[in-house]
């Protein structure tokens, strides 16, 4: 089995303001560095990151950097690029995480990776819905290359059975979209 990790870090940060949210300090390092460190600790054969900003790409030491060739590309475009590369690498699992979810840790990613089967994806849940991090078996990579829009792979995760969902600790799946989100998360930091 060949296991590949994919971090999506090519977002525009439009709701965050003028600066790139992934480079904004959080708990002593850039926001995206937290998820990069977490994925680096997961036992994977390949690590990929889709990044549009060269400064963001530099945070992912040991990752193969991929780019999206369309301006203002939706999240599905990043998934397509990563899924194509996973196919080229002969991967049988693709663990997908978002760079703006700094509280996601290696243990959660590892549990999602282990929960994925040859026939079914797996994902985390906040108790209400399936969401990233998520893992897809090789047989689903082709479907990832055909996605469109900014909802990513939500349609592929919508009807997962309970035994393919990994419950996350409260707050762990929070993502940063605005400065207010970051301020609120920082206020509750350990």
Instruction: Report the pLDDT value the prediction gives residue 120, as an integer from 0 to 100.
Output: 95
Range of the domain at 154: 3-187
Cα separation, 143 vs 153, in Å, equals 9
- Half-sphere exposure for 30 (CA within 13 Å, toward CB): 17
Tokens matching residue 89: 């690498």
**Burial letters for 77-116: b for 16+ Cβ neighbours within 10 Å, e otherwise?**
bbbbbbbebbbeeebbbbbbbbbbbbbbbeebbbbbbebb
Tell me how many domains the chain contains.
1
Cα separation, 169 vs 161, in Å, equals 19
Partners of 46 in the beta sheet? Answer: 4
Report the sign of the C-alpha dihedral through residues 141, 39, 10, 15, in that order: positive
Q: What is the mean pLDDT of residues 66-93?
A: 86
Tell me if 144 sits within 8 A of 121, measured CB to CB.
no
Averaged pLDDT of the chain: 88
Instruction: Report the pLDDT value the prediction gives residue 60, as an integer from 0 to 100.
Output: 94
Give the percent of the chain with pLDDT over 90: 57
Query: Which CATH number goes with the domain that contains 57?
Result: 3.90.550.10
Tell me if 82 sits within 8 A of 94, measured CB to CB.
yes
Least confident of 55-69, 102-116, 152-166, 175-189: 175-189
Tokens matching residue 81: 């690029």
Tell me the chain's radius of gyration from C-alpha atoms. 15
Residue 12 has pLDDT above 80, yes or no: no
* Structure confidence by residue, pLDDT tens digits, 178-189: 667 667 767 765
Least confident of 21-25, 29-33, 159-163: 21-25
pTM of the model: 0.91
Residue 44 has pLDDT above 90, yes or no: yes
Instruction: Report the pLDDT value the prediction gives residue 14, as an integer from 0 to 100.
Output: 54
Residue 190 has pLDDT above 60, yes or no: no
């Amino acid at each position: 089995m060949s296991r590949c990790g994919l971090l999506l870090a090519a977002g525009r940060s439009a709701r965050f303001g003028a600066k790139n949210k992934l480079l904004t300090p959080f708990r002593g390092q850039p926001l995206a560095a937290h998820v990069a460190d977490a994925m680096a600790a997961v036992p994977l054969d390949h690590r990929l990151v889709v990044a549009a900003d060269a400064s963001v790409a530099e945070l992912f030491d040991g990752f193969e950097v991929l780019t999206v060739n369309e301006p203002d590309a939706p999240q599905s475009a990043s998934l397509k690029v990563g899924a194509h590369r996973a196919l080229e690498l002969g991967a049988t699992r693709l663990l997908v995480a978002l760079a703006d979810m700094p509280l996601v840790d290696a243990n959660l990613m590892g549990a999602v990776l282990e929960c994925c089967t040859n026939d079914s994806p797996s994902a985390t849940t906040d108790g209400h819905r399936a969401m990233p991090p998520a893992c897809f078996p090789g047989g689903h990579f082709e479907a990832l290359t055909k996605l469109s829009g900014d909802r990513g792979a939500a349609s592929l995760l919508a009807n997962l059975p309970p035994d393919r969902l990994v419950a996350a600790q409260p707050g762990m799946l929070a993502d940063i979209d605005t400065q207010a989100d970051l301020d609120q998360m920082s206020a509750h930091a350990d």
